[in-house]
Amino acid sequence: MVKVVGIDHISICVSDFKRSKAFYRNVLGALGFKLKHDLANYAGWSNGKTLFWITEADAEGKRHRHRIGNVGLHHYAFELSKRKDVDDLYKALQRFDVEVVDPPDDYYVGGYYAVYFLDPDGLKLEAMVFDPKGLREAEKRAKKHTRTTAKPAGKPARNKRKKKS
């Protein structure tokens, strides 16, 4: 049986090479990727395990903006190591004025924490971590915060002072 040991690279076509190169330089840089290949019509970033390539689409391809739901790639997810990394990337995305479609949150069940955002052509990207322990800790913090900030129901407590004799 053939065994896949990883994903070597992904290559996407973009409508404006210069604009997309600037976008991916920022976003992939925030994710620890380094520009390894800088060619006239291709650019490739690596994190030591995966290459992420962009190239300019041909004239026919440029006539059709990417739309989630069409045949083709739905989205690409970068797996991160902890929830804080997702939060830190979100802050970087805000600094880079990237369109975020779903901010950091627990999606699905069991500790799937992610942020979803779009590249300049509308390709959906995701940064996520599967961290059940982190989810339990976040739920405990939220519960504790709720207890300390919640107003008690019913009558307000009276200020009991000792009477002076």
In a domain, 68, yes or no: no
53/117 same-domain check: no
49/86 same-domain check: no
In a domain, 62, yes or no: no
Q: How far apart are CA 103 and CA 139, in angstroms?
A: 18
42/86 same-domain check: no
39/88 same-domain check: no
Task: Give this prediction's pTM.
Answer: 0.80
Q: How far apart are CA 84 and CA 126, in angstroms?
A: 15
45/103 same-domain check: no
Determine the pLDDT at residue 133. Answer: 78
- CATH assignment of the domain containing 135: 3.10.180.10
Determine the pLDDT at residue 155. Answer: 46
In a domain, 159, yes or no: no
- Give the structural domain span for 123: 75-149
Determine the pLDDT at residue 136. Answer: 77
Please count the CA atoms within 13 angstroms of the CA of 164 that sit on its side-chain side. Answer: 0
**Count of domains observed in the chain:** 2
79/108 same-domain check: yes
In a domain, 65, yes or no: no
Determine the pLDDT at residue 142. Answer: 72
Query: With a cut of 50, which residues of the chain have pLDDT below it?
Result: 154-165
